[in-house]
Structure formats: C-alpha cells, structure tokens
Amino acid sequence: MNDSDFNKVLLLRIRILPPYTYDEDEDERDISEYLAFYKQNLDMSIDSAKKYIEAISCFRDEKLDLKFEKVLEARKAFIKLFPFAYDELESEEVGFGTVYMRKIYENDTETKMLERDLEEYVGALLNIKSNC
C-alpha cells in the first residue's frame, strides 16, 4: 500500500464526513486498524463514495426533493462503509436534521468542495487498490 495515498485518505477523512456523522476515531485509532478496515472493505468503500458523489452531483443540477432523498440514501450507505464513523440520525425520526442538512448540501453545490474532496478520496482509494 502506498503511504502517500493512505495519508491522503487520512487527511481527507475529516473534510468528507457527512453532516450528522459521529467520528469515533478522534485521532485515537492506530493506522493498522484503518489498514484492516480497508483491506476488507476497499471495493465497497469506493463504490459507496462514487454513488455519494453522483447523488450530490445530481442534486446540484436540480435541487428537487427526490434528488435530495437520493443524497440522503447515498449518505447513509457511505457512512456505513466509512471507517470508525456512525450516522447520528440512524436512530432518530426521519425528518430530524434534514432541513439543516439540505442547506448544507445546497451550499456545497455552489462550491463543490465536498464533491472535489470525495473525488480525491476515491482517487486515493483507487490508487491503494491498484497497488495492493
């Protein structure tokens, strides 16, 4: 595994955590735990990140309720395949936080920062995969 790609993944981690996601790491996890996670989940992590990017991109094109629902679905799948994080809304009622979250995603569609960071994350994961 290429150290620079893996370091990029760790650096991007905080920037790509979706809204209302709890970070269980807080710089306390050993790198070996990340290596073990990605060894088991690399392909699924890449796939979920790509689907999350696609959903955000579609929402950017048309800010419709149905497209926002797709962002929420992709967000949930992405969190499940993101190491040492969990969805804070998992146990909450469906509407909790979604109004605020929608504003976050609408603001991001103008800057595309999250999309760019996610694409960089996928690129680093693909590099890791090709070097395994």
* Residue 108: closest CA among 51, 49, 66, 68: 68
pTM of this structure: 0.90
Residue 94 has pLDDT above 70, yes or no: no
Question: Is 20 contained in some domain?
Answer: no
Residues 6+ apart with CB under 8 A from 44: 81
Question: Is 57 contained in some domain?
Answer: yes
Question: Is 17 contained in some domain?
Answer: no
Residue 16 has pLDDT above 90, yes or no: yes
Which phi and psi (to 5°) does residue 87 adopt? -80, 115
Question: Is 23 contained in some domain?
Answer: no
Parent domain of 89: 3-11+30-131
- pLDDT tens, position by position, 32-54: 899 899 999 999 999 999 999 99
Q: What is the mean pLDDT of the chain?
A: 89
* Residue 119: closest CA among 51, 40, 21: 51
Question: Is 24 contained in some domain?
Answer: no
Total domains in the fold of the chain: 1
